Amino acid sequence: MKYPIGIQSFDKIIEDGYVYVDKTDLIYNLVKGGTIYFLGRPRRFGKSLLVSTLKHYFLGHKELFKGLKIDNLEKDWLEYPVFHIDFNGVDFTQEDALARKLEGYVATWEEKYGKSANFTDIGMRFACVLQQAHKRTGRRCVVLVDEYDKPLLDVLDSGAEVTVGGNRVLLEERNRNVLYGFYSTFKLADEDLQFVLLTGVTKFSQITVFSGFNQPADISMVRDYDTLCGITQEELESYFAEPIAEMAKKFKQSIPEMKRLLKQRYGGYHFSVELTDVYNPFSILNVFKKMELQDYWFSLGTPTYLLRLLSHAQGGLDEMPGRYYFYSDFIDYKATAEKPLPMIYQSGYLTIKDYNWEDETFLLDFPNDEVKAGFFVLS
C-alpha cells in the first residue's frame, strides 16, 4: 500500500496508485448545494487535497474519478474555467509578498483571457478576467483559494511594519487591506461565478476580509460536511485493515486493542454536534507508513502565529481544556493574548467533545494523546 504523505495533488495520488480515501460523494453534494463556501480545518488535515480534487472535478477530468463514488452521481462532467490560488509556500512576512503573489496570478490569467485597459486595481482586474473567461467559455468560473488566511497568520501579532503612502502601517493591516480589495471581486463578479471555496485555519469573522463580498456559507461545523477532511473510524477500518493487522502483530496486540490505541492517540477530532470521530490524516498515514506510534503532527512544530499570540498570554492555558463554552467563545475571531481560545481551537489543539442542547454550549478538550502532549509543551 502506498501512502500519499506530503502529496496534495489528486491526479498524482490517483495516477500513481496511492491510497485515496474517497470523499467524492460529499464533494458532489457540496458543489450541487451552493455557490460560495468557507471551510476551516487545522493544518495538515487534507484541505489542499480537497481543493485539488475540486479543481480536477471542475476541469471535467472524468477519467481520474473512475470507480469513485462520484462516478455514479455525476452525469455531465462539464469543463469550467478554474482559478486556483494557493498561498502555501510563500513567506508573507516579506514586504509586498502578497501583492506580488496576486499580481503573478492575475497577470497569468490576463494573458489567457484578456486584459482590460480600464483597470489597474488588482481586484477589479481579477473581476474583469472572470467576466472575460465567462464570456469566452460560455461557463461560469470556479475560484478555489487554498489557505486564504496565510498572508494574515504569517504576520499576526508580529508588529512588522511597512511604508504605505508615506506612512508606517502594520504589515498585518496592509495584508488585510490587500485581501479585502481582492476578495471584493466575488461580489462584483457574482453572475460570473459557478463555485467558490476558501479554505484556511480561521475565518477572521470580526475583521473586514470577508465583508467585501457575499458572505460564504461557513461549513466548518456543518454536520453534512464534518468528515469532508480527515479519516473517519469507518474509513480507517475499511481502507487500512491490512496495516492495522500488521501493527497489531508487531505490537503483540489484538486487532480491537490496536484500533483502540490508534483512536486514543490520533483520533478524537469532532467538527459538529454529531460528534463523528475523525483522525488527523497526516498522523495516521505516517503511522502506517513507518509502523511506529510517534507524535507525527506535533513534530511539525507549533505555528509561529500561535507562539507569538501565546507569548503575551497571561497564563491559564491549562484551564482551557475540559470546560463548556458558547459558540462565540471559540469560533469568533479575533483571538488576543487575553483570549487565545479561538486560535487554540481552530489550530486543532482542542476539539468538541460534547454538546449541551439545553444551554447550547460545547465541551472543548484534547482530541487525543498526541495533541495533549503537545499542548502542555505550549503551556
Full residue range of the structural domain in which residue 340 is found: 301-378
Q: Looking at the domain assignment, is residue 156 inside a domain?
A: yes
Whether 197 and 245 share a structural domain? no
Q: Which residues of 193-216 are buried (b: 16+ CB within 10 A; e: fewer)?
A: bbbbbbbbbbbbbebebbebbeeb
Amino acid at 67: G
Cell readout for 330 is: 471559540
Q: Looking at the domain assignment, is residue 241 inside a domain?
A: yes
Q: pLDDT in tens for each of the 379 residues of the chain? A: 999 998 999 999 999 999 999 999 999 999 999 889 999 999 889 999 999 999 999 999 999 999 999 999 999 999 999 999 999 989 999 988 999 999 999 999 999 999 888 888 898 999 999 999 999 999 999 999 999 989 988 988 888 888 888 888 889 889 988 988 888 877 788 899 999 999 998 876 555 566 555 578 889 999 999 999 999 999 999 999 999 999 999 999 999 999 999 999 999 999 999 999 999 999 999 999 999 999 998 777 667 778 777 776 666 678 889 999 999 888 866 666 678 888 889 989 999 999 999 999 999 999 999 999 887 776 5
Our CA dihedral for 4, 149, 203, 79, rounded to 10 degrees, sits at -60
Q: Looking at the domain assignment, is residue 5 inside a domain?
A: no
The domain tally of the chain equals 3
Phi/psi of residue 217, each to 5°? Answer: -75, 115
Whether 116 and 194 share a structural domain? yes
Whether 237 and 355 share a structural domain? no
Whether 83 and 185 share a structural domain? yes
| Cα 230-367-375 angle, rounded to 5 deg | 120
Whether 268 and 354 share a structural domain? no
Whether 215 and 314 share a structural domain? no
Q: Looking at the domain assignment, is residue 296 inside a domain?
A: no
